[in-house]
């Protein structure tokens, strides 16, 4: 058994059981109600062995809730939606079982592969839902991951691709300016709010511009991660509307 714990100053969410059910829908005899959605930028803290502290006759070795635990520090919230009264609040740390002690996977193959590719300190886009699932007469919370993607180094082609996906410069058919072009940088700057209404702002592709894009797209300030981060998870900076990352 893995507990879910929240404190006023530091909220820690631990994933219980992953699920492939859709938002607020039903599959078979299961009914799923999504209570909250979390889209974050997070720092990978590493993996360690988690020992279930449950009191059933199967705990800790046969219950399936002991195993390899991946832990992430929340750097910043990109978006947060509370859809139900009991939806999880914002948290400062999120952890989930990758596989249990019997080598049974607890997350989909692509998530396991992503975790295995990470090094301690890597920064990722991490998203999950808080669902309440009713099946065969019993109900329980589940927190399935919906995204785990490493944020590429600033200025690289993969980083430009990730910025493109965050900026919303493409139409529904994926048409838009060539990634990295002057037209693209102008459109991204406007959409993310790097430029003001008169389109004044840093010179495209300058270091100042890249830092501004990194903040607006992912909520990461220059030097923030190297300095150990700021309290941008449950206690996100609210000092300036202009300075907030794009939701």
pLDDT tens-digit profile, the chain (247 residues): 444 433 323 344 444 434 343 344 444 578 999 999 999 999 999 999 999 999 999 999 999 999 999 999 999 998 999 999 999 999 999 999 999 999 999 999 999 999 999 999 999 999 999 999 999 889 999 999 999 999 999 999 999 999 999 999 999 899 999 999 999 999 999 999 999 888 899 999 999 999 999 999 988 887 665 544 444 444 444 333 333 344 3
Structural domain that includes position 193: 157-218
Task: Identify whether 60 is preceded by a cis peptide bond (ω within 30 of 0).
Answer: yes
| Domain limit, last residue, from 150, 168, 196 | 150
**Is residue 138 classed exposed, middle or buried when 0-12, 13-18 and 19+ CB atoms within 10 A define those classes?**
exposed
Dist CA 245 CA 217 (whole Å): 6
Within a domain: 31? yes
What is the pLDDT, as a whole number, of residue 224? 62
Task: Specify whether 121 is located in the same domain as 38.
Answer: yes
Dist CA 206 CA 67 (whole Å): 45
Dist CA 88 CA 169 (whole Å): 31
Q: What is the dihedral of CA 98, 102, 103, 108, to 10 degrees?
A: -50
Within a domain: 111? yes
**Domains: count for the chain:** 2
What is the pLDDT, as a whole number, of residue 223? 66
Q: What share of the chain is helix, strand, coil (3-state, %, to 5)?
A: 15, 30, 50
Task: Specify whether 104 is located in the same domain as 211.
Answer: no
What is the pLDDT, as a whole number, of residue 226? 54
| Domain limit, last residue, from 150, 177, 204 | 150
What is the pLDDT, as a whole number, of residue 30? 85
């Amino acid at each position: 058994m893995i507990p879910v714990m929240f404190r006023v100053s530091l909220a820690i969410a631990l994933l219980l059981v992953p699920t492939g059910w859709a938002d607020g829908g039903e599959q078979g005899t299961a009914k799923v109600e999504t209570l909250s959605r979390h889209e974050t930028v997070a720092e990978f803290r590493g993996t360690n062995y988690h020992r279930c502290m449950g009191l059933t006759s199967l705990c800790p070795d046969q219950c399936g809730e002991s195993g390899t635990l991946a832990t992430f520090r929340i750097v910043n919230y990109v978006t947060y939606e509370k859809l139900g009264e009991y939806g999880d609040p914002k948290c400062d740390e999120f952890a989930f079982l990758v596989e249990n002690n019997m080598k049974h996977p607890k997350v989909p193959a692509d998530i396991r592969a992503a975790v295995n590719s990470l090094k301690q300190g890597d920064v990722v886009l991490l998203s999950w839902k808080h669902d309440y699932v009713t099946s065969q007469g019993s109900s329980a919370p589940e927190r399935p991951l919906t995204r785990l993607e490493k944020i590429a180094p600033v200025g690289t082609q993969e980083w430009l691709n990730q910025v493109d996906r965050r900026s919303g410069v493409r139409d529904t058919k994926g048409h838009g300016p060539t990634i990295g072009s002057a037209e693209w940088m102008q459109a991204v700057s406007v959409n993310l709010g790097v430029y003001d209404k008169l389109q004044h702002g840093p010179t495209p592709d300058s270091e100042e511009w890249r830092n501004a894009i990194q903040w607006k797209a992912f909520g990461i300030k220059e030097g923030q991660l190297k300095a150990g981060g700021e309290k941008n998870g449950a206690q996100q900076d609210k000092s300036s509307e202009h300075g907030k990352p794009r939701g």
